[in-house]
Amino acid sequence: MVWLPLAKARKILQTPKSPKRLWAPWRIGYLVGTKNSSARGCFFCRIQHSALDAKNHLLTRGRRGFSVLNRFPYNNGHLLIAPYRHVGRLGSLTAEEWLDLLELSKDGLQRLKRVMSPHGYNLGINLGRSAGAGIPGHLHLHIVPRWVGDTNFMPIIAEMKVISQSLDSAYSSLKWSRKGHAKKVRRKPRH
């Protein structure tokens, strides 16, 4: 029999670290509730024609698209960037739409940086329902702000993700986060 030093034995028996994940089981309501992939009944098509941007958490309207807070976020400040047109394929986007989606992404990243100071971001597009697209008929880009340690024990033991800020509060902060606005208010208070 070979005896190992305790520290070495512990190291060998230690479960390898698994990659950290953002669990989002609450999104099933979103997936189930958005089966219709036609323009009629499409969330993105509906809110772009609404005048209630604050209620819909529509953040910025560009020339060819817009940004909106995800109602079923992976994390605080989870943004969706979508073209106005109801298209589901990358190849269907015009050059102007691509450019505007990038401009809107830049705008979203700047707002998130000013308000939430994330440590990093995940940007991505889910193409097709099998790839995780909740609304496959209307292409959209995800921006998920990330913080070191934002995956904790809650999603694992309670199948619950803690979103520490309400959508209304996050929307209000991001909407009015224009460059220099916060500094101006602090430096020149009204008397």
- As to burial, measured by CB atoms within 10 angstroms (0-12 exposed, 13-18 middle, 19+ buried), residue 52 is exposed
Task: Decide: is 80 part of the binding site for Zn ion (CB under 5 A).
Answer: no
Distance CA 90, CA 140 (A): 10
Stretch that binds Zn ion, among 28-36, 50-58, 64-72, 136-144 (CB under 5 A): 136-144
Total of residues contacting Zn ion (CB under 5 A):
6
Q: What does the CA dihedral 107, 101, 162, 26 come to, rounded to 10 degrees? A: 160
Distance CA 85, CA 105 (A): 17
Q: Which of 57, 78, 138, 161 binds Zn ion (CB under 5 A)?
A: 138
Task: Decide: is 44 part of the binding site for Zn ion (CB under 5 A).
Answer: yes
Residue nearest to Zn ion (CB): 42
DSSP 1-26: --PPPHHHHHHHHSPPPPPP----GG
In this complex, which beta carbon is closest to Zn ion, that of residue 67 or of residue 76? Answer: 67
Task: Decide: is 84 part of the binding site for Zn ion (CB under 5 A).
Answer: no
Stretch that binds Zn ion, among 85-93, 100-108, 154-162, 171-179 (CB under 5 A): 85-93
Residues that bind Zn ion (CB under 5 A): 39, 42, 44-45, 86, 138
